[in-house]
Amino acid sequence: MKFTHAATVAAPRDKVWARLMDIPAAARCVPGVASVRPSGTDKYQGTLAVQVGPVRLVLDGDLVVTARDPSSGTASIRADAKDSRVGGAIRAAMDLALSEKEGQTELRIATDLAVMGRLGEFGQAVIKRKADQLMQDFAECLARQVIAR
Amino acid sequence: MTSVAEAPGGVLAEPEYRVEGRDKVTGAARFAADVAMPGMLHAAFVASPYPHARIVSVDVSAARALPGVRAVLTGADTKPQRFGRRLQDWPVLCSDRALFIGDRVAAVAADTLQIAAEAARLVEVEYEELPAILATDAALAEGAPVLHPDAGSYAFLGGTRSAPPHPNIQGHGVREHGDVEAGFRASFRVYEHTFAVPRTHQGYIEPRAALVWLDGETVRVVTTNKTPFSLRNHMSVSLGIPESRIVVDAGHIGGDFGGKGLSLDEFALYHLARATGRPVRAVTRYADDLQATNSRHAGTITLRTGVDRVGRILAHTSKVVFDGGAYAAGKPVATLMPGDAMLTLAGYRVPAARVEAMTVYTNHVPAGHARAPGQPQNAFAAESHIDLIARDLGIDPLELRERNVVRPGDVDVTGQPWHGTDGAELLARLRGSSRYAPSLAPEGRPNWWGWGVALGVRHVGRGKASLVLRTLPAGRVELRTGVSDQGGGAHTLFQRIVSAELGIGLDRVAVVRRTTDAVPNDPGVGGSRVTPVQGTAALDAARKLKARLAALGRSLEDAGELEVTGEAAQEAHEASMYAYVLAVTVDSETGQTKIEDATLVADVGTVINPVALRGQLEGGFAFGLGQAVMEELRVEDGRVVTANLGDYKLPTIADMPRLGIELMTERPGPGPFGAKSVGELANPAVGAAVANAVQDACGSRVMSLPITAEKIWALLPAKQSR
């Protein structure tokens, strides 16, 4: 499943970049993220609790920054997480890109999401709607945090 | 052959009442999932989340430690056993590699379904992902991984498998007749089109279920499999148990539509029952039924046809490539292709043709049989192709069909003389009974309104069967059969045939189904077989009983205890034809289609069950309509993404238009009293009829199924005009 999200932050690109690359802090902008701890170089471990339709999932997993380029304002993140209650896993490859225009920064996130096991039986529309909502909340929260700093 | 005139008319004209109808509406009918045994355990499976992966390790210790878990088995416990209807290539449980998402790696038996499901979650499988084959051309590309390197060691039932031209090919066939090149050279025009058809599911209401236990030395199986004697054979070969020690009980089946000839669970359930000494039941969740059983083949079909100036077919070639998925186990035919994979221009006079078809291994959900296997795909391609040719030549599409349709004795695409419906007569009836108003120009009719025509053919079922008829006190008789009730009305059919032949009331004929140990061998439901084959055996039994009574000089009332075995061997190559005219409107802003009017003319021979026959034709249309406009088992990166009945859309009664049906009954078939087959007669041509009507209405030619509003809208040639 591929989708793209975009949000505009009223701050210069380097400020947004710095916030974005503070992964534990940025991750807290995703509603339902319980904890994100470093577990190695560019590696993090975390938990996301999320309600999809009638089902509550607790996704435990790893997040790896696989590429980052401050000069172009792009980064790639890979996330692997498992839910042991419903049974299943997700795997997400995210490409983040920041671009500045007239003092504002546009954040674009392109996600390729694979849903495995029983989690995959949820309707695509349900998963996509949930992902849309999470990413939108994330982008808005990030924008607020950058401005508040 | 019995002519229609000889058929005893009285009983066949009686109203039809389903033998099993009362049990079904009162809830007394017992389906496989209803059956429970004392001490019964529940099974759950661990399935691969990867389309292709090496199984590095399986740790079952946490699952085994869970209270209430009675057994956890892995591929190490069941290898090298594999199962299948013809080629036994599907492992009971995977031991070294998993070949599709949903492939089973471990099986659990526990006190409750909840404990079994929890234990399945606790099984830790370490996988090493392997490159997956997710397209048929990738399977045949150089350097593609070979999915079944040990294919030579697999059992092939009833013969020897001919070596496929490529290790990733399941089945392959080429058939040629006439001088194809000369035909193309002589052609005024040559047309080539390529069509795509998706995977679809059979869409039965009842998911698969099975219960297995050991009764001393005997293995007892309650199942939704519609071919219980075949399952007995498959289990015998796979598990190495003599058939005499396996008893299969397949009673009421909640819909089959071709999919339930393949059993998956019964083999692992046997091992679980043996490991625990308890009966073990599995009821498939519908999501698993959609993702991991055997769907209809997706494929790509390329047709090339040469015609003369007036549109007569001179030569035809075709190439059909079906995605067979990870295992060929679902296909019962020796070619390891869907039954009519090579019938690419059915119903036409074809003086020269070269047809090639194949099924290819991929890391997708396996493909097997579904109502009229291979035909919805090929009929969609052929009837769209014929329409495109007609439109290009400026000939009315129905008229082009009239110029080419087969008549008895003509050579068709198989290279054989046609034995069946007079196609010209059928199309004349269609013209008369529909409101078809041919017009290649839209003037004079409402905007966005179009007509679509499509025809189809289906063989009358062949094969051997036997059943038992015995006398009961008070002039009654009882017919004992191994034919399951899968909803088609088989038992009612037998009752009406016996009643008609013996000249006694329907209430004096009881029909009972028995398990595989209590009745003679039966080929099961499928292949359009029940009416012409098992129906003929019922007629034979009635005739034998009559002859016996005559020889003894007794009447049925004082017959005493008599028992006869009715037999049938229907080997005649007969075929029936049907054709549709649909009127469709297209919404100019959304591309949404609505079928305004539908006419079906079908050659059915003698009618034995008038209500069931109509039900089969109406149901066939609804089934075809679903595949025409909404059904698609979508797969992304190897995963079925329409894994629930919200995303996998099936038609309902609200989607059905008015359907006018005209029956052709004059020409008798090889079945009892001149009956033919109708169960798989009406569904394949619906897709093309809709596609043809859509183009007629708005100019959009959709080359793939399903014909969705989105596809139509994207193709609208002039979105504002008209």
Residues in chain A: 149
Q: Does B4 have pLDDT greater than 50?
A: no
- Contact between chains at B641 and A88 (C-beta distance less than 8 A): no
Q: Does B454 have pLDDT greater than 60?
A: yes
B118: nearest CA in chain A? Answer: A85
Q: Cβ–Cβ contacts within 10 Å for residue B344, how many?
A: 29
Q: Which has more confidence, B710 or A130?
A: B710
Distance CA B377, CA B367 (A): 13
pLDDT at A125: 80
- Contact between chains at B646 and A123 (C-beta distance less than 8 A): yes
Distance CA B671, CA B678 (A): 12
Q: Does A108 have pLDDT greater than 70?
A: yes
Interface predicted TM-score (ipTM): 0.77
Residue B150 C-alpha from the chain's centroid:
29
Rounded to a whole number of angstroms, the distance from the CA of A116 to the nearest CA of chain B is 6
Rounded to a whole number of angstroms, the distance from the CA of B634 to the nearest CA of chain A is 11
Both ends of chain A: CA-CA distance in Å?
35
Amino acid at B190: V
Best CA proximity match to A97, nearest among A79, A78, A70: A70
Q: Which residues are paired to A8 by β-bridges?
A: A106
pLDDT above 70 covers a percentage of chain B that reads 97
Helix, strand, coil in percent for chain A, rounding step 5: 30, 55, 20
pLDDT at B671: 96
pLDDT above 90 covers a percentage of chain B that reads 93
* CB-CB neighbors (< 8 A) of A88 in chain B: 49
Phi-psi region of A42 (alpha: psi -120 to 50; beta: other; left: phi over 0): left
Residue range B342-363: mean pLDDT, rounded = 98
pLDDT at B718: 61
How far is CA B110 from each of CA B32, B65, B121, rounded to the nearest angstrom? 19, 11, 13
Which of B101, B641, B649 is best to mutate for the A interface (most A CBs within 10 A)? B641
Residue range B620-649: mean pLDDT, rounded = 95
pLDDT tens-digit readout, B121-161: 999 999 999 999 999 999 999 999 999 999 999 999 999 99
Distance CA B43, CA B274 (A): 13
**Interface list for chain B against chain A, based on CB atoms closer than 8 Å:** 47, 49-50, 101, 120-121, 287, 291, 636-637, 639-644, 646-647
Rounded to a whole number of angstroms, the distance from the CA of A132 to the nearest CA of chain B is 18
CA B184, B186, B187, B190 dihedral sign is positive
Rg (CA), chain B: 26
The pLDDT mean for chain B works out to 95
Amino acid at B593: T
Distance CA B332, CA B338 (A): 8
Which of B639, B642, B648 is best to mutate for the A interface (most A CBs within 10 A)? B639
Q: Cβ–Cβ contacts within 10 Å for residue B500, how many?
A: 24
Residue B616's H or E segment, with its range, is helix B610-629
pLDDT above 90 covers a percentage of chain A that reads 43
What is the DSSP pairing of strand B593-603 with strand B635-636? unpaired
Residue range B618-636: mean pLDDT, rounded = 97
Q: Does B565 have pLDDT greater than 60?
A: yes
Question: Scanning the structure block, which residue is given the tokens 């349709």?
Answer: B405
From the list A87, A89, A123, the residue facing B647 with the nearest CB is A123
How far is CA A91 from each of CA A58, A80, A94, B287, B340, rounded to the nearest angstrom? 14, 5, 10, 21, 40
- Contact between chains at A124 and B641 (C-beta distance less than 8 A): yes
What is the DSSP pairing of strand B246-249 with strand B313-325? unpaired
A83: nearest CA in chain B? Answer: B121
Rounded to a whole number of angstroms, the distance from the CA of B590 to the nearest CA of chain A is 20
Residue range B641-663: mean pLDDT, rounded = 94
- Contact between chains at A115 and B639 (C-beta distance less than 8 A): yes
pLDDT at B441: 54
B50: nearest CA in chain A? Answer: A116
pLDDT band (50, 70, 90) for residue B382: very high
Both ends of chain B: CA-CA distance in Å?
55
- Contact between chains at B121 and A84 (C-beta distance less than 8 A): yes
SS (H, E, C) B335-363: CCCCCCCCCCCCCECCCCEEEEEEEEECC
Q: Does B491 have pLDDT greater than 90?
A: yes
pLDDT at B721: 47
pTM given for the model: 0.93
Q: Which residues are paired to A37 by β-bridges?
A: A45
pLDDT at A135: 84
Residue B424's H or E segment, with its range, is helix B423-433
Q: Does B3 have pLDDT greater than 50?
A: no
Q: Which has more confidence, A123 or B235?
A: B235
Rounded to a whole number of angstroms, the distance from the CA of A53 to the nearest CA of chain B is 13
